[in-house]
Structure 1
Amino acid sequence: MMRAEAGAAKNTIAAYGTDLRLASEVLGGRLGSAGAAELERLAGEWQPLARATVARKAAAVRRFLGFLADEGLRADDPSAALPRPGTARGLPKVLSVDDVDRIFATIAARIERVPADPLDLRLAALVELLYGSGLRATELVSLPRNAVAPDRPFLILKGKGGRERLVPISDRARAAVAAWRDHVAVGRPFLFPSGKAHLSRVRLYQIIRALAAEAGIPPDRVSPHVLRHAFATHLLEGGADLRALQAMLGHADIATTEIYTHVDSRRLVELVNSRHPLGEALVDARARRP
């Protein structure tokens, strides 16, 4: 149902499955027949967990029990007994432009090494697409071999929920992809192959963290998703329209995109202090004080 009716992504379905199996273990395998008392016990087991984790687990169980009731597999739906803690959306980790410059300088130094290592070309293509186009990790590693065309400054992706979006591809990114693709066998289906499939998200995470350490940036500050955040943050700082950013990131709800407006707060304060007439008057007044 999650796949056919809700259009949920494979990773979402896997996460729901894990949460449901763990909940069932707590209730001795009786999740499908659980009543309000059992669900309250389940909520008690979740109490030490973070609020966002509890919200996710409760949503999975709530959806499952609702499905059973809709299909006539049980007569009631006791999911009202599940907690609704809500989620406090945290601010994303942010890389400065200087941080990104250091990352790309490290990549450039690796590419210039003799003898050349094709994996350095792969690294350049990965980072150019993460930071230059804001791709999600899963979208990036599963790109088909010919997804990025040398004469087309965009690609069309199917992201979360099966939603399609147009993603701009910079000249730099297309050049980096072209240089790497020369080292990918013509018969391979993926742009970033590994074994019989494609590079895994876990391996991508490891590659990006190792690159951060090499660039002198604490590895815990950098991940594929942080580079996606940097793409959005720096575009917004540069004056990008929030709706355009929503489309590029593939957010279904603009409220998700609005989290990036926190970036402008510091810049706006500086702008008011340096450019607003009242700000200048206050500075002059302070200067005239004895």
Structure 2
Amino acid sequence: YLSVEKNASPRTLQNYFHSLTRFRQERGKRFSGWDKTEPDDFRDYLFDSMKGGWARSTIRLHFAALRSFYKFLVRRKNLLCNPLADVQLPKAEKKLPVVLTKTQVEELLTLPLSIEHPKQAPHWIGHRDAAILELFYSSGVRLAELAALNMSDFDFFNECVRVFGKGSKERVCPVGSKAAEAIHAYRNQAKVMDGPLFISKLRKRMSARAISNVFKKYHAASGIPQNLSPHKLRHSFATHLLDNGADLRSVQTLLGHSSLSTTQIYTHVSIERMKEVYKKSHPRA
């Protein structure tokens, strides 16, 4: 149902499967069937999850899967009522995303071609890593989207890339001149003309984890103090666009957000930055 009718991504399918399996495992012998589970069973599960130190976002993700499953059972399998309808979840935490300054981004992007690499690494490894970081910041793509890119997805003439996002939704992202130059240099050095865009030293497609490790490697080598992940470059991409006058709808399209409210969190970051500038600059702040 999720795969065919809802066109859910493989990651969503994996997360939902994990959530349903986890609930059954946690209930153990107390689980007597999906049709016999009561609201209090889910409240107990919620309480145990919070007591176990789960993040609110993780709890909400697990319950989203369970709620989706029960909606399916009610609509398609004639289940009389949804036991999750009356279960209240903790509100999502409203945390502002961590954003790098332009100076920090510049420092990070220059590292692959300025540090020494292991002797056993291919001669093109620095160019590949530079292309990865440049493309992350230039296009704002998600980690999984970047890992899935093929050479055929690039339009080098128009400097844009075709991306398949959540739910296999297709969008076209512009690629800045710096990122395009970095990708050209990497292609020429590594002789990558077709197939996966980013390859390992064994010349196979890099996994999302391998690309994440590349990011962590350069973060460790930089002087940036924040705890960072590749997604922070996506946050920085969106915030820097808004800081420089981009409208919210355009940023929503570039990020591939289905809801404008998801994009609006970046406006709060920009407002916070404006307040900082105001406090530092205004004589009566």
**TM band (smaller chain):** 0.7 to 0.9
Q: 2:235 aligns with which of 229, 238, 241?
A: 229
Q: Is the 8 A contact 1:9 1:160 kept in 2?
A: yes
**Residue aligned with 1:244, SS:** helix
Distance 1:88 1:32, change over 3 A: same
**Residue aligned with 2:161, SS:** strand
**Residue aligned with 2:263, SS:** helix
Amino acid of the structure 2 residue aligned with 1:23: F
1:1-290 residue pairs with structure 2 within 5 A?
Answer: 1-28=1-28, 30-33=32-35, 34-48=37-51, 49-72=54-77, 74-110=79-115, 117-182=123-188, 183-186=190-193, 189-194=195-200, 198-218=205-225, 221-269=227-275
Distance in structure 2 (CA, Å) of the matches to 1:116 and 1:38: 55
Give 5+ residue unaligned stretches, structure 1: 284-290
Q: What is the CA distance between 1:131 and its match in structure 2?
A: 0.5
Q: Is the 8 A contact 1:133 1:169 kept in 2?
A: yes
Distance in structure 1 (CA, Å) of the matches to 2:117 and 2:14: 41
Q: Is the 8 A contact 2:74 2:81 kept in 1?
A: yes
Distance in structure 1 (CA, Å) of the matches to 2:118 and 2:208: 27
Structure having the higher Rg? 1
Amino acid of the structure 2 residue aligned with 1:235: L
Q: Is the 8 A contact 2:38 2:83 kept in 1?
A: yes
The alignment covers a number of residue pairs equal to 277
Distance 1:116 1:32, change over 3 A: closer
Distance 1:63 1:185, change over 3 A: same
**Residue aligned with 1:156, SS:** strand
Distance 1:66 1:119, change over 3 A: same
Amino acid of the structure 2 residue aligned with 1:76: C
Q: What is the CA distance between 1:258 and its match in structure 2?
A: 0.8
Q: Is the 8 A contact 1:24 1:31 kept in 2?
A: no
Q: Is the 8 A contact 2:107 2:222 kept in 1?
A: yes
Instruction: State the identity %.
Output: 30
1:40-99 CA distance string (max 9 Å, x none): 332232232222222221111111122122222633321224332231232111111111
Q: What is the CA distance between 1:13 and its match in structure 2?
A: 1.4
Q: Is the 8 A contact 2:139 2:237 kept in 1?
A: yes
Comparing 259-268 with 245-254, which one deviates more in the overlay? 259-268
Give RMSD over aligned pairs.
2.7
Distance in structure 2 (CA, Å) of the matches to 1:26 and 1:178: 51
Distance 1:90 1:184, change over 3 A: farther
